[in-house]
């Protein structure tokens, strides 16, 4: 079962968000929350909120335990870009790109590993291969 949390059009560049997201990508969600609290970057606060939202969705909507969750993947995508202009030399205008991002956290519930019984394989008897005689011309 997948639990998803989105945050769209965040006024932060995707490059800066990915830098922080890569540091918590392989952690357990509760460990990732602790890690994000101690990272001194603005992106960490935003990722903390979205991860907290994903965990709350799992606990409240799907009745799952927080210990049973695993981060399946974190997706940081480009959002719309705001284009602004600043005055340049000789009456020109220089463009400024204010980038935004979309965050998608996907959590997955651990499933209990079921022990499968080994099925006995039936051995098939090998049929003899017929030899084909080929004539050689001299």
What's the confidence (pLDDT) of residue 114? 46
Does 135 score more than 60 pLDDT? yes
Which of the two residues, 68 and 116, has the higher pLDDT score? 68
- At 120, is the pLDDT very low, low, confident or very high (cuts 50, 70, 90)? low
Q: Measure Cα distances from 73 to 25, 51, 63, 103, 105 in Å.
A: 7, 11, 21, 11, 6
Q: What is the mean pLDDT of residues 56-73?
A: 94
Task: Name the superfamily (CATH) of residues 2-109.
Answer: Ribosomal protein L22/L17 (3.90.470.10)
Helix axes 42-61, 14-24, angle to 10 degrees: 60
pTM value is: 0.76
How crowded is the C-beta side of 114, counted as CA atoms within 13 Å? Answer: 4
Sequence spans of domains, the chain: 2-109
What's the confidence (pLDDT) of residue 119? 55
């Amino acid at each position: 079962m997948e639990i998803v949390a989105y945050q769209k059009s965040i006024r932060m560049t995707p490059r800066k968000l990915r830098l922080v997201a890569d540091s918590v990508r392989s952690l357990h969600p509760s460990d990732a929350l602790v890690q994000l609290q101690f990272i001194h970057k603005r992106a960490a606060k935003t990722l903390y909120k979205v991860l907290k939202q994903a965990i709350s969705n799992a606990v409240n909507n799907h009745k799952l335990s927080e210990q049973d969750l695993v981060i399946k993947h974190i997706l940081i995508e480009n959002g719309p870009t705001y284009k602004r202009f600043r005055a340049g030399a000789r009456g020109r205008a220089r463009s400024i790109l204010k980038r935004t991002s979309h965050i998608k956290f996907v959590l997955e519930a651990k499933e209990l590993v079921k022990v499968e019984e080994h099925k006995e394989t039936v051995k098939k008897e090998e049929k003899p291969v017929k030899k084909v005689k080929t004539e050689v011309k001299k």
